[in-house]
Amino acid sequence: MGKWPVECNSSMPMWGKTSEPVFKPLVAEPAAIAPAERGQTPATPARATAFIGKTTRVRGEIYSEEELYLDGEVEGSLEVRHLLTIGPNGKVKATVKAKELVVRGSIHGDVEASDRISIMNGASIVGDVKTAGIVIEDGAYFKGGIDILRPEAAKKSELAAKSAEGHIASTAARAAAQ
């Protein structure tokens, strides 16, 4: 009889086994994403975000200062200061406010995003939308009105609010000095 093939004598693990530990942490590691790649939104969050799973149901108000990936059900109001992603199992019956919104599930309610809203293939929004930019992919469903905000107008209103706060603070400081 012949010798065993060279592949059988190598130190490679058998049947796809590796020396990696079986336990993997639940916390996602941040991934470096170039701003140009940001337009291509992944199906799941690419970096550490708050996460609401598909078996979770929430009634009430949700407010987040960090990015949020929602794959469960929410009824009430939802405000996120950064990127909000509604996953493919996500069902939202709420007023939604975010800086940027990516919808892969469904939203029933009014939506406001200061930067952009992306409604992906298979997703739906029923309600009025207010945003600076909108992307509606083929196969997405949208029913409602669209109010396109001018990015300059949004920045001007933010600057006006900040200058008004500064004016009030300086007036108060002068009054206290007298």
pLDDT per residue over 99-110, tens digit each? 999 999 999 999
Return the higher-pLDDT residue of 134 and 39. 134
CA distances to 51, 81, 110, 155, 157 from 32, in Å: 19, 20, 32, 28, 32
pTM listed for this prediction: 0.61
What tokens appear for 127 in the block?
């309600």
More confident residue, 132 or 22: 132
Burial of 88 (0-12, 13-18, 19+ CB in 10 A): middle
> Which residues, at least 6 apart from 62, have a Cβ–Cβ distance to it below 8 Å?
68, 74, 76, 77, 78, 79, 80
